[in-house]
Structure 1
Amino acid sequence: MKRISITNLEHAIRYLEERISQRLTTPEKIAFPDFDISDASDPFFRTIAEMKLSLEEFLILLIALVPHVYPDFFDRVVAKNLKKDNDLPAFGGIKTAEQRTMMPTVSTALFVLAGDDIQKRMDLLALFNHQHPFYQQRILRLEQPRTGESMLNRRILLDDEYTELFTQGYVSPPKFSSSFPAQLLHTEQEWSDLVLPPLVLERIEEIKTWIEQSSTLMEDWGMKRVLKPGYRALFHGPPGTGKTLTASLLGRYTGRDVFRVDLSAVVSKYIGETEKNLSQLFDKAENKSWILFFDEADALFGKRTGVKDAHDRYANQEVSYLLQRVEEFSGLIILASNLKSNLDEAFLRRFNTIIHFPLPDVEERLQLWRKAFPDAVTLDVDLVEVAARYELAGGSIINVVQYACLKSLQRSSNKIRMKDVLQGIRREIEKDGRLFKSLM
């Protein structure tokens, strides 16, 4: 974890304090010497360098950051430089019941950077436009205005993640909540643990290539002129065939966080709530290089229905809204479904790749059985016969192995018995309502 350069930040805050003091005391003589950011060793100055910020943009970002370092910064600077009256409406700033110290507003930034220069103030307003990278990349935002309130009175708010990045040097993974109904996926397994047909592995490799080379494709090769942002993949097939594991491995081997979306927390019976939940989710994930994994996607991406009542109409609106957000998302979205036919055709047409995860054949099942048992055990099991006889998916095989291992531990033994493996298989087969036929 890289430590924040306190010296760099102190130097920047001192520079800002000097500019504010000049504006407050001798506004006609204020000077803005260049600020040296050649040392981009910490996230704040690295962001400035990477975004190629102008001096004005740098100061706006610093104005938004400084209350998170010195909460009383603006109160202190104003009190120090205004001898008679600490109330200066032109300076802007706002205090609330929750925030007793002054927080900067658009007026604060305009006063510091432009003073009474009308033309410069008008030019600087463009830096608060929603098209500016500050807002496109969700680094800054303006407080929602109250009815009839001037834009100048809106607080400049630094995104929570950037606040943590600039002050701590890292960003914590978001926690599951109503505003972010997704959980981080993690796996200790390796690519070699993924037992799939060659064609399926080849298509997964294509996704991996997109993750690693999408920037080159879109920016360096100029394909953003003709290609939509992001990449959309559908994984479909029976449960336990490796869909979730594949998503987890794609994240692990490309250095991307994979978040599995909890659809039960997204879909709401209340009108407009599903769209709101989706909006918060996609807004949080945008520009993060995350992989969003929608498991059992049928619940949200299902076919639209004929409109018979208001409920149908709003349900179809939810699907249409989701379709729009999926197309706009610049990262990788993976949908997993047991049945491809359950999904709306409008989604199917927009997938970059559709991959079928079949039940493993005999040879693949044998590989899965051999990989699943730990090295610490001794097998008294005919895995060749078991693999040939019982059609099980990889997830079911793991369940059987766990059951057999636990039975061995109950006996204080490290020997896996055929009897226990078959009993575990019986349990898995009967889950699906199939008839179990024992080898013994």
Structure 2
Amino acid sequence: MSDIEREVRAVAERARDAAAELAPLGRAVKDAALAALADALVKRSDEITAANAEDVERAREAGTGPAMIDRLTLTPRRIEDIADAVRAVAELPDPVGEAVRGYVLPNGLDVRQIRVPLGVIGIVYEGRPNVTADAAALCLKSGNAALLRGSSSAYSSNTALIGVLRDALEGTGVPVDAIQMVPGRTRESSKALMRAHGLVDVLIPRGGRSLIQAVVRDSTVPVIETGEGLCHVYVDADADLGKAVDIAVNAKAQRCSVCNSAETLLVHEAAAEEFLARLLPALAEAGVTVHGDERVLEIAAARDTGATVVPATEEDWATEYLAMDLSVRVVPHIDEAIAHIRRYSTRHTEAIVTDSLKASRYFVSRVDSAAVMVNASTRFTDGGEFGFGAEIGISTQKLHARGPMGLTEMTSTKYVVTGDGHVR
């Protein structure tokens, strides 16, 4: 066993002890601790921004693009927003102890299924240091110990943030080791976390496809896959074309760099000519490049839409652009749209735009994704938008959570069976 693996396992062992202390704590203790975290973030914002400046300078020297630098940068205003997000978590209902179901058996045994924390949650994430505080707060509220492994690009920021959070836990009744940073800056430390089976209960990767797949491939700890979103919008023959234009533009362009933005638009051939004549100028105004099939290219060539339209390749249908690009295909019927989605989707979010109840029911029953929208943008797949208040990520798998993961999805259950001298 290497030195870094020993260090990681030692941190995980402390987290396991902390999780056992944290699990039975009541809401009042946890909420007071969250308030202390929020206050400490604001009070020590100068310290945090100074550490963040080191990361930003290194990123600039490495030639990192302006968009990524913006995601990395912390300002006093952004730290106040992070603190507000922590306070918002404190206001959410506590799922721990909630009764899922209960009944009395014919023999008199009382059976209750209640929510309990998962235990130790390891979170591996890229870029944005705000995830450090968000993840720590969500884990604490749901009674879980957090092992946080951010990217090396935000190492100084994460070190400062976790130091502030741990200091704030002193005297709150919540064990300090409920929030810990995974030691090390290399992939070896990430892999050591992935191999900590028996100490870490679940890993949640947050980031791009390569990170998620690396964690899924290398981990012996159970993994909840989150984030990767190759989302589709299908415009049916019976769609209201005005609504369809608004939904398609919003799904692609409202914020293109997130997992719930649309990457592929499928259009029924009966609606294609009129719909694309309206849509292409709107996409051009939003700055979107269209990767179109032959029919889309024909329609674009026949009209002065102002849109940038290039031929779509096979690779386009499988690409999560996370940029102002949209692949567009005309399909002969709804079954072809569903077949396309089945082939290329990452099972995140798909949408249908139609005024046909029959078509919407058909689509919903046959598309197997975490969220299916009817006459609404894919951008609504989000914990906050769903009314959860916050989320740790969006799960694209089926066990144990699917879709936006709020506090409830960060719990498991156990059965409490009460008898009166019962024997079998």
TM-score, length basis structure 1: 0.27
Which one has a larger percent helix, Structure 1 or Structure 2? 1
Which one has a larger percent strand, Structure 1 or Structure 2? 2
